[in-house]
Structure 1
């Protein structure tokens, strides 16, 4: 649990830092998870990262039924489930934007004079991201920290109920959250034309899940990032690579959004 929790915290903290540096043009970029924009993908990741807070507030199922690999089974990512997930993220992003806009207008009416005075005192050097974009990072930060706090207060053997209805041990579900934040972080980096920021701790947790703890065939010569990209569909497999994977008997996981 502590290794997985450390990976979750590291990856979420890294993403919070990235989000605080985005601008409006960044948020409107398309992603390789169509039809989501960067803004909508962030909303999806925020929901996924914060999900455990509510799950741990609910009654615990009597026993676990699936592990992290089972969570990514093909039956969980049907076109119907994926469509609902896509629509939910788009609606959530729109609601968040509307709420931030309303709050910004209200704050602006009260703070124009104060900001003008602060700028004067600072000699015109007062800067920083606009409130709306700062709020986006703050919302994600609050969501994952609330989840992490709930995890810290629960025993590692605690069982939770997923949105698919399955019962999982807390540690196993937290592994899926590391995948959620880490792999979608690769999607965001690609959309923003930035180098991947996947943290070593998260990469290790994700790679272990993808391979079932087995070594990658030596002939592939993949580093951790390549392994994750290839096995989650973020990069295409060549014919020889597919043959090596098949021979190794990897359990291929299903990834929707």
Structure 2
């Protein structure tokens, strides 16, 4: 399946975007890639969404029914959840832009009502309902493909510094909200790969953005000193792999920002 639409001279993809992530993720923006240009985050979003779509092509109907660590979701419902999270972008872009951004990507993942029992239950049922109406796995992938491409194209058309309102009421820079969508794609991409018994397929750009969000630009060396590669760190920092007390202390010294994930 094809990746993001062809880049313009203003929107390079691949390694150029990854260099942009690490060049601009430090300083006053530690823990958030706030000062990364909006187009760069849009490109990373497109790369990671395209990779996920490619990975899910050819998944058998039996595999769509496999359990995931995100119980009670099976593979089809977890993929449906990712589709729902991506599909929120067009509605937000069609709404009135708040005057000022107030919440960063790290702040979005704070432990408040957005992750309480009632909201989580609604999140579960919404994903189940979306997956159930799509029919087979092929339809699920095609629906996701249409959704992410529409969101990608709409985001590319937005001016730098665009502010959006989330469904939770947060006023955020579009670039910051897009970082949360990359988190969803990367973290649940790991969940889906594990459920399917496959090697992780995340892009280096997507993984780099999430790592920069969690650590800033200065914390990566400390994590690598533990002998962890990028995927190992992401698994441990998001609860996808066990982390010992000594490891927790080490990553906290590196400046990790723990995210509340539903």
Q: TM-score range by the shorter chain?
A: 0.7 to 0.9
Counterpart-to-counterpart distance in 2, 1:225 and 1:142 = 28
Unaligned runs of 5+ in 2: 1-37
- State the Cα deviation string for residues 125-164 of structure 1 (Å, max 9, x = none): xxxxxxx432221100000001011101111211111111
The residue that corresponds to 1:109 in the other structure is: none
Counterpart-to-counterpart distance in 2, 1:86 and 1:21 = 25
The residue that corresponds to 1:116 in the other structure is: none
Are 1:54 and 2:91 counterparts? Answer: yes
Of residues 244, 247, 250, the one that matches 1:241 is 247
- For the pair shown, the structure with the greater C-alpha radius of gyration is 1
Q: TM-score normalized by structure 2?
A: 0.81
Contact 1:6 1:201 in 2 (8 A): no
Alignment of 1:1-257 (within 5 A): 1-75=38-112, 76-97=114-135, 132-216=136-220, 217=222, 219-256=225-262
Counterpart-to-counterpart distance in 1, 2:129 and 2:138 = 20
Task: Quickly say closer, same or farther: Cα 1:211–1:21, change in 2 above 3 A.
Answer: same
**SS of structure 2 residue aligned to 1:168:** strand
Shift of 1:221: 2.4
Counterpart-to-counterpart distance in 2, 1:80 and 1:35 = 15
Shift of 1:92: 1.6
Which has the larger helix fraction?
1
**SS of structure 2 residue aligned to 1:18:** helix
Displaced runs of 4+ in structure 1, greater than 4 A?
none
Query: How many residues are treated as equivalent by the alignment?
Result: 222
Q: TM-score normalized by structure 1?
A: 0.83
Shift of 1:10: 1.0
Shift of 1:238: 1.4
Shift of 1:239: 2.3
